Structure 1
Amino acid sequence: MSRNNVRGPTSALTEFLRASGITPTTVAARRAAAEQEQQQPVAGPSGARGGEDDDVEMADGEVDAEEETATPRRRTRGGGRASAATGATYDSDDLDDAAEAVEKAATKKRKLSKAAEAKLKAKEKAKAKKKKKDEDGDYDDDDDDAEDDPYRALSTMWGGKGGASPAKPPVGSFEPCAKCGNQFTVTRYTMAAVPGPGFLCHKCAKATGNDPFKKPAAVKRKKVPVDRRTVVNFEERRFPTLASICIQLITKHIDDVESLGDIGALNVDAISKALSKNRALTPQNAQLFYSVTNTSLTFYDATNLTSPALETLIHLNPHLTSLRLDFCGHLNDTAMHTLSASLPALAHLELLGPFLVRPPAWLALFQSHPALATFRITQSPRFDRACVAALVGSAKGTLRRLRLREVGQMDDGFLRELARLERVEELDLGAPGNAEACSAGALQRLLEAVSGTLRVLDLSRHVLLTDGALRDGLAAARAVEALTLREVPLLTDGGVAAFFGAWGNPPVRVVELGRNYALGGKALEAVMRHSGERLEVLGINGWGGEGMGEEALRTVGRLGRELRKLDVGWVREVDDFVVKGWMEGEGEDGDEDAEGKSKGRANGRTAGCPRLSEVKVWGCNKITARCPKKKGVSIYGVESHTAI
């Protein structure tokens, strides 16, 4: 008991510990005894223990003599103490566990907030971690002591350990915003203030430019390189001429050139082509090509020339007889009416992409120019049957070259009007907008009407054209030099072979029959026997019909002595040996005779294609990087299957 027997209010925990004999005095005495035992040497005989006990008792008396008298204690083994009331013995670890158990029991009885529960769980977790370290023999308890130290708790609240980095409050707790001061609820998206201490509400966090709700950017994974085929072009390289270097320099500084002077029509055309590659022709530099003495003008890319610029072109070149404008999408009715009124000598007109010109403007052109010799248009969706009738009616006896390519409204009515032409030599009706509107019968009648004067014919993508229409329509033709029939699916291998075998027309210079997958060896051999001695351009792209093998392909080298350009893309049987035969010729069995000399053989060997300059082998997977090469011959599309 105390000296004056006056006691104040105490907590239930204090009362429980006092009743169990646990007081600050006993705890201090226990610690002092444990320290003294560690300092004493190993215990001697049992008779020496009495003095040791007396020393310990004396030390206890020095701590608090009156408290020791009021509550007598007795020593136990291991430095423990026993309660006088209950007679129970308590070790140091037992005391800590008992105190912790009592504290937990008292805490559970009180209703805790979410924040308090989170702190309690964190504390229990830290103690469990510490106990595990003690069991493992790890006595580095500086960090744990720092966390439990009540004098450092305030400093670590906002800065974690030592205040280095902010420790986020538990989710669901309330915190004041470090910037605006308003209280907000802590969530998983809450962000720390920079600079600290404290945290920001969602509104202030967004104001800083960092959206807490923004998902992290997906990490771009590096693409794994895949195997690709290397396409090799064996192209003959030559040094540029002085004229070509000058043309490149002029086109590079075209906007700074005030006058080109008299450099010749061929060089002006080359400069125009060079400008079209970069789409650099503008209304400003286009005037360098204008002159009142011009009779011919060609622009290969007029994309940047607006309708007023085209009207200026017409006014500054009033004596033009030939005009070609590619990609003239800005040409409208106003510019076409100006052309009809201001170019009275115009006889040759070629336009690519006149989308905006309507039928009345076309009719005005044909009425003002009844002697047109060349009329070529491509991609004109508004050119209708009335326009064709006006063209044929005004230029029926003068029109030599006609191109109505990719015209959307072409049908049998078009073909009937065109059958009235009398002197047409070049006819291009390829790629109609609605190919099924042009029947095989109408095509046959048109060919029969114009075949007497026809030299160049292009009926590509007419899907209804048959072998019979082709054979009967061109049966009377005797002047055809170029025949183009690409993507005509109804043509057959036997039908084309029969057509060339019976055709009375002299050998032609150009045969383009690509993308007709049904054609094969019979058609190729028939073409080479008919036109091989004069043929310069041959296109059999995609042929894969019956008999399209190595033997049929070798006839190209045996009979095509004048061949210059050859397209055999996607013909699967083409390989290195076939190409070598085309370039170098091939050996023949038997002795040299008169017949061998007449076919170009020398010393039992064919000469191949000595004039060959270009070969396209796209899609021929039997061609390798070791494909034979020859000076002056460019080979395009060698797929060597080399991984990169």
Structure 2
Amino acid sequence: MSNNVRGPTSALTEFLRASGITPTTVARRAATRAQQQAAAGPSGTQVDDAVGAEPSETRSAPSGRRTRTRSATAAGYNSDDLDADDDAAQEEEEKPAVKKRKLTKAAEAKLKAKEKAKTKGKAKGKKGADEDEDDSEEEEEDAYNALSKMWSGTGASPAKPPVGNFEDCAKCEKQFTVTKYTMAANPGPGFLCHQCAKASGSDPFKKPAVPKRRKAPADKRSVVNFEERRFPTLVSMCIQLITKHIDDVEALGDIGTMNVDAISKALSKNRGLTPQNATLFYNITNTALTLYDATNLPSPALTTLAHLNPNLTTLRLDFCGHLDDPAMNILSTGLPALTSLELLGPFLVRTAAWKDFFTSHPALTAFRITQSPRFDIECMRVLVDSCGQGLEALRLREVGKLDDAFCAEVARIAGMQGEDKKLVEIDLADPSLSCSEDAIIEMLEATGASLRMLNLSKHDLLSDVFLEQGLGAYTRVLEHLTLSHLPLLTDAGVGAFFGSWANQPLTSLDLARNAELGNEALLGILGHSGKRLEVLNINGWKDVDEKALRWVGKMAPELRRVDVGWCREVDDFLLRDWMVGDGKGIPGCAKLREIKVWGCNKVTAKCPKKSGVSIFGVESHSVS
């Protein structure tokens, strides 16, 4: 193949070319001079053989051999010579006209004939050597063309062209520069540009994957849970048998309603509830229904639920992602007696369907939803207008559009109920963006007098001011409080708040993941609610010390469940004091049933155990 490759030219070459001095004119001048010397006498014969014979012998050379000559150059630029055309004029002027050149093919043939005549005894061996030499001379003389012929794609596995050369893409036929990343076409012949190589599914610039080093076996950490295992009761064995053969629900007959909830929980462990076996839980006499995992129930199956349970007053559906507008409209019309609705994951229900449900159920007393991105302020206004007077429980957890306007609507519920306030539960946890501190304080001003349960987790704009001006000023009968993930709360502020709070002692408190809280906060909590506290969660209180933790065994006799995960000072001896006491003034928590110690590295597998107490999250080191 031919390549129109030209290298950089010097200023002298450009000047000669502008003056009309080109390789063609120089070649003609040299040929004329050689002819004149040949006609002058015998002395010019040798010159003609060495120099001037090139044009004539080139014309008489066999067509099967290619030679680099000036006559070929004169016909046009050739990629074999690259910049030889530009430099020829400068070489002609700087060097003598007669110069030693490489022997032509005819001269080489004459020399070979003479050698053969002198060495007739070695003619056969010499002939082979000369032929090899001739081939090598030809390759050396025209090595560039020979290489181009070799990798032009005629062979089964063509060699890669030189880096920097120009080549035509075998696919798009565009000219590109050859680099070390150039890839051969498959199938051949030819090579691909980088764009076509990527389009074919191969990345020419991809580095080879470094083999991964095999790591030496390290210490593995195993988590041990100490939970008391009792002999299964006859009821539990029957429930396991039913759940195992749940697909044969028609053959089971009437199993009664006493253990339906337990069977529903057992099925939720492996998502075994399907439209075929869900009819086990349906009955025209049902007033309450709970399905703990409705993942496999499509919209038509949820519609069937409403038709087969028309007298429901309480409905709970967890993981009801298939609940859409048509199914929600059936719930609105097919369950007229419904007063309590709890949904986890109603992603597909839109604003219009929510509004229709609220307007068709003015007697609704409890509305709890979690993870509903389409529930907006318009839905909230219709809920308050239609059901506000009798609403007792409201949960809007993980609602993406929750903002200060929602807090104002919640406060409006208390205004509609007047002195006979019924709203006892508010859960606005886990919003996308925190509501402002002022908006939540105004909401508590209107609703705090009747509240018994409050969850404001992850409203990260709440600080100690909210505790004093909100909870401290307006709540008196609160029993369950959850304020986790509030980074602005301080140890001193929480301790002082519980020390002066006029509210009755709490039975459940969750202040997890508030890393700034420590000794003062814990002692304030125990002083205020220790005698009635049943559930305590201080997970993530890394700075609370052992002395403050020991007061839990002294001041919380009713404690049943405690989570002290990631509290650094919890150890085996502290757990023993909580469970059985130390005999030196710490009676312990006699009603304790569950302890969570995730991340407590000082608790070992040899920690003390007590019958009826489950310990979760004990980390022990073992080498495999």
TM superposition score category, shorter chain reference: 0.5 to 0.7
1:526 to 1:222, Cα distance in 2 relative to 1, 3 A: same
| Matching residue of 2:502 | 504
| Matching residue of 1:445 | 442
In 2, the alpha carbon distance for the partners of 1:401 and 1:462 equals 20
Describe the SS at the equivalent of 2:509: strand
| Matching residue of 2:432 | 433
Letter aligned with residue 409 of structure 2? E
* Alpha-carbon displacement from aligned partner over 1:411-446 (angstroms, at most 9, x marks no partner): 1111111113331111111111221xx111111121
Letter aligned with residue 405 of structure 1? R
In 1, the alpha carbon distance for the partners of 2:356 and 2:133 equals 104
Does 2:152 correspond to 1:111? no
Does 2:478 correspond to 1:454? no
2:239 is matched with which residue: 229, 247, 272? 247
- Contact 1:412-1:439 within 8 A present in 2 as well: yes
How many residue pairs get aligned? The number is 463
Describe the SS at the equivalent of 1:230: strand
| Matching residue of 1:602 | none
| Matching residue of 2:609 | 629
1:323 is matched with which residue: 294, 299, 315? 315
User: Cα RMSD (Å) of the superposition?
Assistant: 3.5
1:586 to 1:385, Cα distance in 2 relative to 1, 3 A: same
| Matching residue of 1:71 | none
Does 2:570 correspond to 1:612? no
In 1, the alpha carbon distance for the partners of 2:156 and 2:253 equals 82
In 2, the alpha carbon distance for the partners of 1:328 and 1:370 equals 23
1:203 to 1:377, Cα distance in 2 relative to 1, 3 A: closer
| Matching residue of 1:530 | 528
| Matching residue of 2:563 | 567
Letter aligned with residue 557 of structure 2? R
- Contact 1:618-1:638 within 8 A present in 2 as well: yes
In 2, the alpha carbon distance for the partners of 1:456 and 1:534 equals 16
Describe the SS at the equivalent of 1:265: coil
* Alpha-carbon displacement from aligned partner over 1:21-80 (angstroms, at most 9, x marks no partner): x99xxxxxxxxxxxxxxxxxxxxxxxxxxxxxxxxxxxxxxxxxxxxxxxxxxxxxxxxx
1:218 to 1:549, Cα distance in 2 relative to 1, 3 A: closer
Compute the displacement of 1:631 (Å).
2.1
Does 2:519 correspond to 1:521? yes
Letter aligned with residue 633 of structure 1? V
| Matching residue of 1:642 | 622
In 2, the alpha carbon distance for the partners of 1:308 and 1:348 equals 22
Letter aligned with residue 277 of structure 1? K
Does 2:540 correspond to 1:542? yes
| Matching residue of 1:128 | none
Compute the displacement of 1:581 (Å).
1.5
1:264 to 1:450, Cα distance in 2 relative to 1, 3 A: farther
| Matching residue of 1:271 | 263
Structure 1 residues 67-466: aligned runs within 5 Å: 106=130, 109-111=133-135, 184-185=155-156, 223-224=214-215, 225-258=217-250, 260-419=252-411, 420-421=413-414, 422-435=421-434, 438-466=435-463
| Matching residue of 1:467 | 464
Residue identity (%): 57
Describe the SS at the equivalent of 1:461: coil
- Contact 1:172-1:187 within 8 A present in 2 as well: no
1:292 to 1:17, Cα distance in 2 relative to 1, 3 A: same
In 2, the alpha carbon distance for the partners of 1:463 and 1:446 equals 17
* Alpha-carbon displacement from aligned partner over 1:156-201 (angstroms, at most 9, x marks no partner): xxxxxxxxxxxxxxx9999xxxxxxxx9446689xxxxxxxxxxxx
Greater CA drift, 361-370 or 217-226: 217-226
- Contact 1:173-1:185 within 8 A present in 2 as well: no
In 2, the alpha carbon distance for the partners of 1:331 and 1:374 equals 19
* Alpha-carbon displacement from aligned partner over 1:130-167 (angstroms, at most 9, x marks no partner): xxxxxxxxxxxxxxxxxxxxxxxxxxxxxxxxxxxxxx
| Matching residue of 1:483 | 481
- Contact 2:338-2:364 within 8 A present in 1 as well: yes
Describe the SS at the equivalent of 1:229: strand
- Contact 1:259-1:288 within 8 A present in 2 as well: no
In 2, the alpha carbon distance for the partners of 1:634 and 1:542 equals 20
In 1, the alpha carbon distance for the partners of 2:428 and 2:545 equals 33
Describe the SS at the equivalent of 1:297: strand
Compute the displacement of 1:405 (Å).
0.6
1:265 to 1:453, Cα distance in 2 relative to 1, 3 A: farther
After TM superposition, the score normalised by the length of structure 2 is: 0.67
In 1, the alpha carbon distance for the partners of 2:157 and 2:386 equals 88
* Alpha-carbon displacement from aligned partner over 1:389-418 (angstroms, at most 9, x marks no partner): 222222223211111111111111111111
In 2, the alpha carbon distance for the partners of 1:249 and 1:564 equals 32
In 1, the alpha carbon distance for the partners of 2:430 and 2:315 equals 24
In 2, the alpha carbon distance for the partners of 1:630 and 1:495 equals 36
* Alpha-carbon displacement from aligned partner over 1:84-133 (angstroms, at most 9, x marks no partner): xxxxxxxxxxxxxxx99x68864554325999xxxxxxxxxxxxxxxxxx
- Contact 2:433-2:459 within 8 A present in 1 as well: no
1:488 to 1:185, Cα distance in 2 relative to 1, 3 A: closer
In 2, the alpha carbon distance for the partners of 1:506 and 1:575 equals 32
Describe the SS at the equivalent of 2:259: helix
In 2, the alpha carbon distance for the partners of 1:251 and 1:520 equals 46
Gaps (5+ residues) in structure 2? 1-112, 140-146, 161-185, 189-203, 415-420
Compute the displacement of 1:299 (Å).
0.9
In 2, the alpha carbon distance for the partners of 1:185 and 1:392 equals 80
Describe the SS at the equivalent of 1:331: coil
Describe the SS at the equivalent of 2:395: strand
Letter aligned with residue 431 of structure 1? D
Compute the displacement of 1:15 (Å).
8.0
